Amino acid sequence: MRPVFETLDTIQFTFTTSVAPNSGVALSIYDAAGTAVASVWAVSSDATHQYAFYTTPNTPGAYLGLWTAYKTYQGSAYLFNKRFVFNINQPRAQ
């Protein structure tokens, strides 16, 4: 089941790795058409946990989140990608 948020919610997304990335970790958000709607640099809470705050757009629909990080080990560079999908709905009337 996909996470569901409301339009203009501010969400904390978290990225966890088993090894510390070499450089900044980025979170990119894409709409259902594949258009990039946001890119956010993450903040480290420790060497293997990063987080980013994101305010959802005003347009309901399905969105793809993509975390990107790099690690160099013994002269080889490794790319860490983590994808996740979430939905945005209009707020319900009270």
Region 24-37: mean pLDDT is: 96
* Domain contains 78: yes
Q: In the predicted model, what is the mean pLDDT of the chain?
A: 92
* The predicted structure's pLDDT at residue 94: 60
* Domain contains 67: yes
Domain harbouring 9, CATH code: 2.60.40.1220
Q: What residues have CB less than 8 Å from 90, skipping those under 6 apart?
A: 6, 7, 60
Closest CA to 51 of 76, 17, 85: 17
* Domain contains 34: yes
* Tens digit of each residue's pLDDT (9 = 90 or more) over 72-83: 888 888 899 999
Q: Please state the domain count of the chain.
A: 1
Q: Which domain holds residue 82?
A: 4-89
* Domain contains 8: yes
Region 32-36: mean pLDDT is: 97
* Domain contains 94: no
The residue whose two tokens read 């939905």 is 87
Q: How far, in Å, CA of 41 to CA of 3, rounded?
A: 21
* Tens digit of each residue's pLDDT (9 = 90 or more) over 59-71: 999 999 999 999 8
**Residues 57/35, Cβ–Cβ less than 8 Å:** no
